[in-house]
Structure 1
Amino acid sequence: MRRARFAVSDGENTSDRATVQDALTFDLRVPDTSDDDHLAAQRVAMFDLAPALLGATHLVWGLACFLVQPMSLFAPVSCNPLIPLLAVLALDGLAFAGLWFRDKLRLSPRTVAGGLCGYIGISGALWMAYGLTLDCTLHSSHAAFIALSFGAGLGAATIVSISSPPVAIVNALVAMTGALAVSRQPEVLAGITFLAVVNIAYTVASARTVLTNARARLALEAQARKALQFVDEFENSGRGWFWETNNLGTLSYVSQQLADDFKCNPDELLGRQFTDLLSVDSGSPDSMREERTLGFHLSARFPFSDVIVRAASDEDIHWSLSGNPLFDSRGRFLGFRGIGTDLTEQRRSEQEVARLARFDSLTGLPNRALMRQTLDEALRNATSRRKGCSLFLIDLDRFKNVNDTLGHPIGDALLRQVADRLKSVMGDHGQVGRLGGDEFKAVLPGTVETGLLESLARTLIEQVSRPYIIEGHRVIIGASVGIAIGDPGRSCADSMIRNADLALYAAKAAGRGKHCFYEAAMHSEATDRQRLEHDLRLALERQEMFVAYQPIVLAAGEEISGFEALVRWNHPARGMISPDKFIGIAEECGMIGKIGEFVLRSAVGEAAHWPEHVRIAVNLSPIQFNDPHITDTIAAVLSDYGFRPERLELEITEGVFLADSDATDGTFARLKSLGVRLALDDFGTGYSSLGYLKKAPFDKIKIDQSFVRGAASTTKRNGAIIRAIVTLADSLDMDTTAEGVETHDDLFLIRELGVSQVQGYIFGKPMTGEEARKLANSSRVEAEGFQCIREPRQRLMRRAIAAINGKTTEIRLRNISAMGALVECADNVMPGQSITIDIVGVGPVIGIVRWAQAGKFGLQFAEQFDLARLSAKRAKGNDVTMLQPWYVNQGPNKVAS
């Protein structure tokens, strides 16, 4: 079936006409397209009143014939006209009902058209039967009346069928059949046939015209709907809107989006001057040019494109307008029609892009580029104001562990909270920024006093180290800080960043959670650290590492309970390197996993030759613990050596709880399912949360050596702390091990307090595998060592500054220990007096005077002093700079010189 195509231009139909075949078959065939389906439904609707017209005709002529010649319902069937009359009237009613309820009956247009053909045929046949029965009933004088009634029925049917060729054909066949039944005269038959052919031809021609025009109209409507759909989609997409004015410049059409900018309905804007809605963007440097451009084009009726204007509203709304003038066929100006684009979001996006180029998107802090600019400006101001500046580099400790165990979303939330705490600590002292990852920077213009810097650094570390609660997870991290002080006119940004970075490395090397000032010696230390990291990566391959074993002895009977496996590194050039020096490097460079597996295999392999009652303890770092394959690795090692799991004791520090999560609990459960024992190492040095002991299935608590060494001293409260730990462990059915026991006095106290096991130099230093095997097979081990121990002291003299009796005085410190020092001072002090001293290169320390003599007094520190702070060597001349920079209280001429 050929489908016609239509092209519409200027409202006139220039398409191909529908074919005769289309006209003859359209009503009875299945529609090819949705438009044809819609058109077929429309054509069927033209027949809605056809049964009513035919029914009225049949009823009127039936009543007329009844009045002419009353008839009986009980007359013979062959001569009773009431039967066909009632039948045709019933058929009319059924046809009317079928057309009226066709939608509810779900009749397709094709079915209805076919039914109409049948209805016309049957109705015509019944009406002919009615006429024939009338011929038998009425007298010959009423022959003309019979012919009129017959003709009326056929005429009404012709009127009904004039719209549909198939129905017209059926009606013509009925008419010719009726004529043949009524009259045999050739003239009558020829006339009827001629009229039928003319009627069919007219109907076909009319149907072709109707189909052609209807299809053209539907095509136009489809294009109009599509155009409206495009307009709606364009307007609803937010990419732009349409506007139109009349020849007077008043709005005749506006889009909803334009009305939304003014918070009103589009109807409220119609009739207003278009220029009343606009005000040229005064913030643009080209505002005058834009104003002249828009005004000129509107007044001159010229097209314009992409003119930037600002909406006359309270909000900062910007548009880009384009418009074209409209003229009719006579050249009369009709107005403007155009489109507008909302540039508000685009401008906001541009501003956001500019902001993101300077600020960190996660925390909102200045990013690396802006912080570098801030540092450059601080140094320039320092030169002009003769006042230095300082730089903090801040690195979060154990942040990677949070990301690995809890996921990056939790890590991002943690970084945002850290940023808030850093800003709170820094306050007005300086600007905090994020460099990326877990690295932050703080620039402190004009701040060079080491006391203030040290106080800020300590507060910063303390605040960052406080626990975080994120989505139900309790997270604990730490921070290390590197500090560099810049001199005005002498320091540059690159050197300060490098120096602060070196100080940060030194803080990490000091055990993390520390702060360090830059010192010249750190350059060589950084180079040395890089070499050490390089050598560490090759140490396992070169077989430079080995495992030493320190005995763990039962406190009651001095029998060997087990050994702790300790990794050792014998460097070919440096000799023995302390684990405290290379374990931290191994964790940072990713070597701790390989080293840990090496220690585990070596220790289990050696312990396999020991008696069955002797255990082996192996340290498990937090990084190893968080490895999802750690359980499989331990199981494989146990299987390879046929080692009973209960003989393996894994020592775990509190670091595994810093990212408290379901993954941590799952790892504990899998390790216990293997049958190995778990020990909480270094208990008392961290947060020592009792929640750890409640959640984790530990079998032992190891009391840190900082509580054990010197516990027998009457000046310390370590014994009470140890007693509390032992009581707690006993109530939880856990063993206890005291680390670092070196004297007989401490051993006696440990036994008296009920500690289960002892580990320390008093029973043996770490030894080789052969020595450990020999000791494991012995029955007992004897304690050896000194009876008591004295606090270590730093005998080198240290200079300091103190405020005594309201006057700043330089003092000297001798015999410095963790608890106090001997102070040489010319001023008189009183016992019980509290004094704050600032040790050169170390910082402030608070103490109480215990005794005083002429020229000297004894000072007891308020808190235990870390002697390691005195061990770092400082470059000559740095001490004075750290206490009071060279440029303080200097005149301009002196600084310039």
Structure 2
Amino acid sequence: MDNLSVDPEQRPATRTSNLSLTRATLLGCSLLLLAIFLLTSGLLIYIALGQNREAEAHNRFDIDKALQVFDKSARSTVKDYAFWGDAYRHLHQSVDTDWAFGRQNLGSTLFSDLGFDGVFVLDPSNRPVYSLIEGRLQTAAPPDWLRDIPPQLLERARQSASSDEATSRFVDLQGTPALMAAAALTPGTDPTVEADNGPASVLVFVARLGPERLAALGQDFGVEQLHVGGTQADLPALRLPDAAGVLQWVPARPGQQLLVLVLPLLGIAGLVFALMTAFILRRATAAARAMDAHYNSLQASRWALAASEERFRDVAEAASDWIWELDGQLRFTYLSERFETITGLSRTTCLGRPVDEVLTSDQGPLSQWFKDHARRANAIVQCNYFAGDGQPRICRLSVREMEGRGYRGTASDITEEVEARRRIEYLSQHDALTGLANRSRMQEFIEGKLKATPTLEEPLLMLSIDLDRFKPVNDLLGHAAGDQVLNQVSQRLQQCLRSDDLVARIGGDEFVLVVAGMRSQDEVESLCRRLIERIEEPFQIAEHEVFISASIGIAMAPADAILAEELLRYADIALYEAKDAGRATWRFYAGDMNARIIERRQLESDLRHAIKHGELRLDFQPRYRIEGQRLAGAEALVRWQHPQRGLLGPDRFIHIAEETGLILPLSNWVLQHACEAAASWPEEVMISVNLSPTEFQRGHLVARVKAVLAETGLNPARLELELTESVMLDDAQGALVIMQGLKALGVRLLMDDFGTGYSSLSYLRSFPFDGLKIDRSFVGGLTASGGDHSIIQAIVGLGRALSLTVTAEGVETIDQLQALGAIRCDEAQGFYLNQPMDAQAIKALLGARDPAADTTPH
């Protein structure tokens, strides 16, 4: 104990030193806590500002995405119109203004429906030969518009014609940013038009980014007050490509609320902290004055050394890396304790071993790497090793040379980082849900196969597969169930192919198979049959058994195409034919399929023209009360008087109208003219109008019916709207809301084609129908004792039980009419009673009938 005693003369100095140390320590802790408090406040402000920046960056990304979508849509639209044989014939080889504007092939609908402010056709010498401004035909092309069309855009459009591509560019059009999309006029795939060898004319679509269009884009992508700007310094700005202008918007500020809520709380915490610090400082100072001063300077030095060593160990072991040292022979001389924690290896076993026995590198032996690279500043090398559990791991060594005494540095475990990077690379080539190849991987695979030059004897097959009846799975069981079905479908498809073939998922329920080595059509059809049979096997999803099918389109290289994009397009065309043929089947691509698509496009264009120029007409099918055979009403039937094809029934064009969106203007025309005609009929005669399921999805049906009733003055109780069961199949809840809105107007609702669906009874109980119409397939087989007689009798009984009017369609004989009367069916219509007649004939029929007497219609 003597050597630990302290000279009395040193005691005051020691007490003073202890007191100063205590005060300094407390002051340091206080400053540290104050720094932490200030750092917390600074981090809070940084996070708030970061949230604002992230919100602004998200808005900027959304705007850029909106412009890309807008650009892509414009290029796709101009390409559809430019790569068209009729457009090439009527706007390049000659200029037919009546074809383009009069028949609305390139008319005012491009402005009213698609929003293109300007449409121009420039001949090979860049002179305008056809011009539309805001849907109006211009006799002289406005120089202000043409001056802003860049010559480079026209040149790129002509150069891109060979690759079936359109081009676009943002420009400053009279002070307003605008998108110009251009494509060279070519015959496309129309075999009836022969292309000349001279320069091509160019079709240019112009869409200005005015306030309304920008507001709509901003609303679609959640961006507030998107506008053309650049003058408001406090708002973020996005410069359009090609120096076409600057867009600004009002960004979201989510960080402001965080600051308002949290900063006052931090202030209160800071005040409490200051009071506690002052109290602790006073108590610690008093305690320090009472401390024993028997520690000499040697012991204090030892304590300081121990504290320093302890701090080093704490820092070394608290770090996520482990520390190492190598001698001149590249043997491990030091490994921190974290080495065992992170690697699972023993330090004792590894110390003294050469670095090459513990770690390896893809760049060669580490001993050689150290000699070649370790002298550089910030030398880093990636290494591999096996952990204590035998699993391979990856680490990154940071190396520093110790002036000829060896090397030291740190090692970071980056296994998860490397695996994440590999996962990202995998996802860039594969579908995240099913693990199949995605479109990018499929493109690379096909191009590689095509480089091997397939032959007619051993062609390369592309099978485009689309699932049938898949949408109800998502609607009824949810998207999670749909994802399970897609996963099982992908597994079944892979099981049907060989390992060197490819299965890719390119859309929601769209798959593509790339197959080689099929030598005959029988082999291909056998594969298609096997694929469909496998997909049609039931899927067990939770407690449900799900049944779907598939349609397949087939294209072959080199017989059909030798380019990947064309091969996929032809397979899609064949798929469309398979679906049109009734689904659950397959079709090989044939040249006439493309011709049918061209004809369908022409029919669509003619129908658009017919709706606007009065080529439609209405016929009326009378409907009679069976008891007394009194006229009860008439059903409106639309016909199309085509100038070349003659009179067309609805079966020729209704499905085209539904697929192209023309069903809404067509339905408006039918509803308007039917109500106008019925307004002059006797009050007790009803008018029936058929509705398309598409109108329930996006047609604002209630508002349209209300407007027509108000305009024509027809009593709503005289209007009957006929709809089929498919309306409820697509969206039962949405359909119910719309039907309730129609009933609130006072109109009647009839279920058409009753008996052909699978759940009509449940719909009759749940939906507000006023009547039903028995499908003609039952009436055609009606006899006094047949099965159809019993079915119709049951339907009539069901209608009476639910207080519904029952109408039989397709009555063609007196026996059928008498049988319907015997089972007390309410109404009937058909050729026996009266054939469909035009407006003049129905007026004559109504004028000739005597309301006071029964009539027998024929």
- Place the TM-score, normalised by the shorter chain, in its bin: 0.5 to 0.7
Cα deviation digits, residues 584-621 of structure 1 (max 9, x gap)? 22222222222222222222232222223222222222
1:307 is matched with which residue? Answer: 381
State the secondary structure of the residue aligned to 1:673: helix
Of the three residues 616, 624, 647, the one matched with 1:576 is 647
Give 1:749-768 correspondences, 5 Å limit: 749-768=819-838
CA deviations on 1:378-436 (whole Å, 9 max, x unpaired) are: 78999579455654434467988999x99xx9568636625634753784158543333
The 1:468–1:759 alpha-carbon spacing in structure 2 relative to 1, beyond 3 Å, is farther
Change (3 A) 1:369 1:643: same
Q: Aligned partners of 1:505, 1:594: CA distance in 2, in Å?
A: 26
The 1:576/1:385 distance shift into structure 2, 3 A limit, reads closer
The structure 1 residue matched to 2:488, chosen from 420, 423, 442, is: 420
Q: 1:566: which partner in 2? A: 637
**Residue 341 and residue 479 in structure 1: after superposition, are their counterparts in 2 closer, same or farther (change >3 A)?**
same
Distance 1:107 1:720, change over 3 A: closer
Which residue matches 1:548? 619
User: Are 1:337 and 2:409 an aligned pair?
Assistant: yes
Q: 2-side partners of 1:37 and 1:435: how far apart? A: 57
- Aligned partner of 2:31 among 35, 40, 60: 35
- CA gap of 1:673–1:485, structure 2 versus 1, over 3 A, is same
Q: Determine if the alignment matches structure 1 residue 743 to structure 2 residue 817.
A: no
State the Cα distance separating 1:109 from its structure 2 match: 6.6
Match of 2:737 in 1: 666
Deviation digits for residues 646-686 of structure 1 (CA, Å, limit 9, x no counterpart): 33222222222334454343333333333332222223334
Identity of aligned residues (%): 33
What code does the residue aligned with 2:323 have?
W
Q: 1:270 to 1:402 in 2, by over 3 A?
A: same
Map 1:790-805 to 2 at 5 A.
none
Asked whether the 8 Å contact 2:356–2:366 carries over to 1, the reply is no
Q: Tell me, what secondary structure is at the counterpart of 1:539?
A: helix
Q: What is the one-letter code of the residue matched to 2:595?
A: S
Shift of the 735–538 alpha-carbon distance from structure 1 to 2, 3 Å rule, reads: same
Which 10-residue stretch deviates more, 723-732 or 106-115? Answer: 106-115
- Equivalent position of 2:397 in the other structure: 321
Contact 2:399 2:410 in 1 (8 A): yes
Q: Which structure 2 residues correspond to residues 774-785 of structure 1 after superposition, within 5 A? A: 774-776=844-846, 778=849, 779=851, 782=856, 784=858
Contact 1:394 1:441 in 2 (8 A): yes
Determine which of 621, 626, 631 is the counterpart of 2:702: 631
User: Alignment partner for residue 714 of structure 2, among 631, 638, 643?
Assistant: 643
- TM-fit CA distance, 1:625: 0.7
1:542 deviates by: 1.9
Task: Give the alignment's Cα RMSD to 1 decimal.
Answer: 5.4
Q: Given the alignment of the two structures, is residue 602 of structure 1 paired with residue 673 of structure 2, yes or no?
A: yes
Paired with 2:855 and 2:526, the residues of 1 have a C-alpha distance of 49
Deviations 1:743-782 (A, max 9, x none): 3343344444443322322233333333334434535664
1:346 CA drift (Å): 4.2
Aligned equivalent of 1:612: 683
Aligned equivalents of 1:684 and 1:670: distance in 2?
26
Assess, with a 3 A threshold, how the Cα gap between structure 1 residues 370 and 767 changes in structure 2: closer, same or farther: farther
Distance change (3 Å), C-alpha of 1:663 and 1:308: same
Post-superposition offset of 1:338: 1.9
Q: Does 1:259 align with 2:318?
A: no
Q: Residues 499 and 302 from structure 1, CA distance in 2 versus in 1: closer, same or farther, beyond 3 angstroms?
A: closer
1:244 lines up with 2:324 in the alignment: yes
Change (3 A) 1:109 1:376: closer
Relative to structure 1, is the Cα distance of residues 287 and 503 closer, same or farther in structure 2, using a 3 angstrom cutoff?
Answer: closer
Flag the 1:767–1:508 CA change in 2: closer, same or farther, 3 A.
Answer: farther
| Structure-1 separation of matches of 2:773 and 2:582 | 20
Secondary structure in 1 aligned to 2:336?
Answer: strand
2 CA distance for matches of 1:105 and 1:519? 83
In the alignment, is residue 680 of structure 1 matched against residue 756 of structure 2?
no
Counterparts of 1:21-32 in structure 2, within 5 Å, are: none
Deviation of 1:301 after TM superposition, in Å, equals 8.7
Task: Give matches, 1:501-540, under 5 Å.
Answer: 501-510=572-581, 515-540=586-611
How many Å apart are 1:292 and its aligned residue? 4.3
The Cα of 1:561 is off from its aligned counterpart by 2.2
Partners of 1:481 and 1:515 within 8 A in 2? yes
Q: 1:251 to 1:755 in 2, by over 3 A?
A: farther
Do the aligned partners of residues 646 and 473 (structure 1) sit closer, same or farther apart at CA in structure 2, a change above 3 Å counting? farther
User: Counterpart amino acid of 1:259?
Assistant: T
Distance 1:351 1:302, change over 3 A: closer
Equivalences for 1:403-414 in 2 at 5 Å? 414=482
State how far apart, in whole Å, the 1-side matches of 2:31 and 2:468 are: 72
CA displacement, residues 479-519 of structure 1 (integer Å, 9 cap, x when unaligned): 65434466889987666544433333334555667654444
Q: How far apart are 1:529 and its partner, in Å?
A: 0.9
The structural deviation recorded for 1:554 is 2.2
Distance 1:492 1:481 in 2: 20
Secondary structure of the corresponding residue to residue 437 of structure 2 = coil
Q: Which residue of structure 1 aligns with residue 210 of structure 2?
A: none
Separation in 2 of the partners of 1:384 and 1:281? 51
Give the match for residue 769 of structure 1: 839
Q: Which one is further off, 106-115 or 680-689?
A: 106-115
Matched position secondary structure for 1:306: strand
Q: CA deviation at 1:528?
A: 0.7
Q: Closer, same or farther in 2 for the Cα pair 1:325/1:508, shift >3 Å?
A: same
SS at match of 1:740: coil
The 5-angstrom pairing of residues 96-135 of structure 1 reads none
Query: 1:573: how far off?
Result: 2.6
* Partner SS for 2:341: helix
What CA distance in whole angstroms lies between the structure 2 residues aligned with 1:747 and 1:534?
43
Contact 1:711 1:718 in 2 (8 A): yes
Say whether the 8 Å CA contact 1:548–1:568 is kept in structure 2: yes
Structure-1 separation of matches of 2:819 and 2:490: 45
Deviation of 1:336 (Å): 1.6
- Mark the structure with the bigger radius of gyration: 1
The superposition leaves residues 54-91 of structure 1 with CA deviations (integer Å, 9 ceiling, x where unpaired) of xxxxxxxxxxxxxxxxxxxxxxxxxxxxxxxxxxxxxx
Distance (whole Å) between structure 2 residues aligned to residue 621 and residue 473 of structure 1 = 31
What amino acid is the match of 1:630? L
Kindly provide the amino acid, as one letter, of the partner of residue 485 in structure 2: Q
Matched letter for residue 417 of structure 1: V
- SS of the aligned residue for 1:338 comes to strand
Do the aligned residues in 2 keep the contact of 1:251 with 1:272 (CA within 8 Å)?
no
Letter in 1 for 2:332: G
Q: Residue 505 of structure 1 contacts residue 526 of structure 1 at CA under 8 Å; is this kept in 2?
A: no
Cα distance, 1:312 vs. partner? 0.8
- Indicate how the Cα distance of structure 1 residues 694 and 594 shifts in structure 2: closer, same or farther if over 3 A, else same: same
Aligned partner of 1:189 in structure 2 is none
Name the aligned partner's letter for residue 410 of structure 2.
G
Distance 1:732 1:460 in 2: 46
Matching residue's letter, 1:535: D
